[in-house]
A and B are shown apart, each in its own frame.
Chain A
Amino acid sequence: MKLAMIGFGQAGGKIVDKFLEYDARTGSGIVQAAIAVNTARADLMGLQNVPQESRVLIGQARVKGHGVGADNELGAEITEEDIDEVQGAIDNVPVHEIDAFLIVAGLGGGTGSGGSPVLAKHLKRIYTEPVYGLGVLPGSDEGGIYTLNAARSFQTFVREVDNLLVFDNDAWRKTGESVEGGYAEINDEIVRRFGVMFGAGEVGLGDDVAESVVDSSEIINTLAGGGVSTVGYDAETVEEYNSGGLLSRFKSNNKDDMQTANTTNRITSLVRKAALGRLTLPCEIEGAERALLVVSGPPEHLNRKGIERGRKWLEEQTGSMEVRGGDYPVHEPNVAAAVLLSGVHNVPRIKELQQVAIEAQENIDEIQKESEENLESLVEDNEDELDPLF
């Protein structure tokens, strides 16, 4: 499926930049247009693949290109004021060629956290194409203000988009790694998972007679109905044997049967590992409202039986009646299962985030009150004998 991606803020910009690189490298053709929006000039300059003319610096009058810090209320305000500048960049997007918008942002910061819900609301007002969000939650070690920002932005973003895909940095943090190096790996993971998911609707291999290829409408239907989504993923290397190649000369029925059984088992096992392993947003998969299973790999390593079995298993595990499944043929020696779980409800991490955010809010209020009192007691003379100038 073809997307117009808008990276909002630093994390959002970097991830969209990575999507462009993935697209060029693999030819998956999902990024129809890419835009990066920021209040910080330096963050826009750090991008490598987003075209210069698609980098939009907003809020120059207010923050002079220096960013909003972690003030997401300011991020939201500036976005509202300068929404025309963002729209100016979107005007260059051939919207009739895209299937959806995807707004990408780190929810713990300022610009993306505050601005992306505002942009989502704006886009939904103007276009009929679905508007999806890809929100990154902060690590739990990043401190209260990031958590508070994320909790508030999450709430608003979910409300404004057609579906919010979530990636939780906390679940993917690796101890003992530099933050930057850590993000590089995390961003690769984000791009691979969502790339395979969205890429599935974009098969351009005319010669492959796929059994049941996933198309864009199935992705859209899975995301329809809104709420929060998460993606599970697992891949395995296989030896690619070409059906017209050397081995086919020795083919026997027996071998065919065995390969079929192997293929089926591999797929069902990958589906299980994908759904039960680490999700982009860890949660209880039971109760997910809709799901989409994409099994990707060389056509000779895909079969309907495996996908159907995997799909059935997902139905049992989620209790959902709406589990779609299909394949995504690619020419490389890997087989992968990607599971999109949409409308998940049982997400302990979000509850924890909200709890910490509430505590942070209370702390901040208290500190502010204290400092106001302190200032007052410093400035005012004890007996109140002095009069102010005016």
Chain B
Amino acid sequence: MNWIHSSRAVVLGVLLAVALLTAGTVGAVQIAGFDDAPDSAEVGEEVSVEVELTDLYGDNVPDDEWTLTGDSELGGADWTVIVRDAGGDEVDRVDPVNESFEVGIDRDANHVTVDISVTGDIPEIDEFDYEDPEVEEILAMELAQLTADGDRATLADGTYYIHAYTEESREARTAIDDAHEAAEDADSDSARDDVDDAITFYNNGEFESAANTANSAQESVESSQQTRQLLIFGGAAVVVVGLLVGVIYYWRESQKPTSKLQ
């Protein structure tokens, strides 16, 4: 097979894959708005996700009449669902009380777009994973088509997750990020071990220990880098450093009460 043949085969393959993909999911419904929703939020915080659905009768929602359903893991999820006609006027509205809603979509009833919003609190998360932040995600909105036999066919791109954190988990994560960077920059194995320990603490939900371990890893890298440099100066320098440290210490002590920053 020469080059032209093989590249043509690749193109064909890709086209086929795309065709299969689009046919395989309930997909032509267009969903806009997830871009504006928060990526992450603190546990207990109230968040809202709002989207607009258009192209309600695309190829793969086969019927002119179907049932749209939505789910959310947000605490006390409060949905507002408004169905509009081509002019943007409200034709139908559902105010469900529960975590989910169902609404009939009907071409003959002039249903053209749907505005959906859900507001609720980020629930407690019971599992943390530093390396796999998806574990810390909350399903904020999942939109699906309810098929005749009661199955749910999730709409393509109709699912939105929010990364949940607590103040402590976020602080610990930042500390680990920083320590990880410092350990890699310095190429220090002992600091890497400390970072691993910090991650273990983190994954166990012991955020204070995680942050402390990460911070001390970072500090040890920074100070060991300095020490390594200083050693190059040789034995005599040690005396100088001793002196210097003394001077700095004395200076710092004498300066202490005038600090603007600490």
Q: Which residues of chain A have a CB within 8 Å of any CB of chain B?
A: 22, 25-28, 192, 195-196, 199, 235, 237, 239-240, 245-247, 250, 255, 258, 261-262, 265, 269, 272-273, 276-278, 284, 286, 296-297, 330-336, 348, 351
B182 x A336 contact (CB < 8 A): no
B174 x A246 contact (CB < 8 A): no
A25 x B257 contact (CB < 8 A): yes
Interface check B94, CB cutoff 8 A: no
A246 x B244 contact (CB < 8 A): yes
Contact residues of B: prevailing secondary structure: helix
Q: 8 Å CB contacts to A: which residues of B220-253? A: 222, 225-226, 229, 233, 237, 240, 243-244, 248, 251-252
A192 x B261 contact (CB < 8 A): yes
Which residues on the B side are within 8 Å of A332 (C-beta)?
255, 258-262
Known: A250-B237, A277-B171, A333-B252. A265 touches B185 (CB 8 A): yes
Cα distance A235–B260 in the bound complex, in angstroms: 10
Q: Write the nearest CB–CB distance from A238 to chain B, whole angstroms.
A: 9
Starting from the known contacts A192-B260, A284-B41, A333-B255, 4 additional A-B residue pairs (CB-CB under 8 Å) come to A26-B260, A235-B262, A269-B178, A296-B261
Q: B45: which of A27, A192, A348 is its contact (CB, 8 Å)?
A: A348
Which residues on the A side are within 8 Å of B38 (C-beta)?
284, 286
Known: A262-B222, A276-B171, A333-B255. A246 touches B261 (CB 8 A): no
Q: 8 Å CB contacts to A: which residues of B140-175? A: 167, 170-171, 174
Q: Write the nearest CB–CB distance from B101 to chain A, whole angstroms.
A: 25
A-B contact list, 13 entries, CB within 8 Å: A25-B258, A26-B258, A192-B261, A199-B260, A239-B248, A240-B251, A247-B240, A250-B237, A261-B185, A277-B171, A278-B167, A332-B261, A334-B262
Cα distance A98–B7 in the bound complex, in angstroms: 72
**B248, B255, B261: residue with the most chain A Cβ atoms closer than 10 Å:** B261
Which residues on the A side are within 8 Å of B41 (C-beta)?
284
B174 x A272 contact (CB < 8 A): yes
Nearest to B179 among chain A residues (CB) is: A269
Q: Write the nearest CB–CB distance from A137 to chain B, whole angstroms.
A: 18
Cα distance A261–B252 in the bound complex, in angstroms: 24
Interface check B46, CB cutoff 8 A: yes
B237 x A265 contact (CB < 8 A): no
Which residues on the A side are within 8 Å of B229 (C-beta)?
255, 258
Cα distance A181–B253 in the bound complex, in angstroms: 25
Interface check B193, CB cutoff 8 A: no
Cα distance A26–B257 in the bound complex, in angstroms: 8
Q: Which residues of chain B have a CB within 8 Å of any CB of chain A?
A: 38, 41, 45-46, 167, 170-171, 174, 178, 181-182, 185, 222, 225-226, 229, 233, 237, 240, 243-244, 248, 251-252, 255, 257-262
Known: A25-B258, A330-B260. A348 touches B174 (CB 8 A): no
B233 x A250 contact (CB < 8 A): yes
Known: A258-B229, A265-B182, A277-B171. A333 touches B258 (CB 8 A): no
B225 x A237 contact (CB < 8 A): no
Q: Write the nearest CB–CB distance from A189 to chain B, whole angstroms.
A: 11
Cα distance A118–B178 in the bound complex, in angstroms: 47
B260 x A262 contact (CB < 8 A): no
Q: A262: which of B167, B174, B225, B261 is its contact (CB, 8 Å)?
A: B225
Which residues on the B side are within 8 Å of A330 (C-beta)?
260-261
Q: B225: which of A26, A258, A297 is its contact (CB, 8 Å)?
A: A258
Which residues on the B side are within 8 Å of A265 (C-beta)?
181-182, 185
Q: Write the nearest CB–CB distance from A141 to chain B, whole angstroms.
A: 17
B261 x A240 contact (CB < 8 A): no
Nearest to A233 among chain B residues (CB) is: B261
Nearest to A245 among chain B residues (CB) is: B244
Cα distance A13–B174 in the bound complex, in angstroms: 37
Q: List the 4 closest A-B pairs by CB distance, nearest first.
A: A334-B261, A336-B261, A26-B260, A269-B178
A247 x B244 contact (CB < 8 A): yes
Which residues on the B side are within 8 Å of A25 (C-beta)?
257-258
Q: Write the nearest CB–CB distance from B102 to chain A, whole angstroms.
A: 30
Q: Write the nearest CB–CB distance from A371 to chain B, whole angstroms.
A: 35
Which residues on the B side are within 8 Å of A331 (C-beta)?
255
Nearest to B248 among chain A residues (CB) is: A239
Q: Write the nearest CB–CB distance from B42 to chain A, whole angstroms.
A: 8
Q: Write the nearest CB–CB distance from A276 to chain B, whole angstroms.
A: 6
Cα distance A57–B170 in the bound complex, in angstroms: 46
Q: Write the nearest CB–CB distance from B180 to chain A, whole angstroms.
A: 11
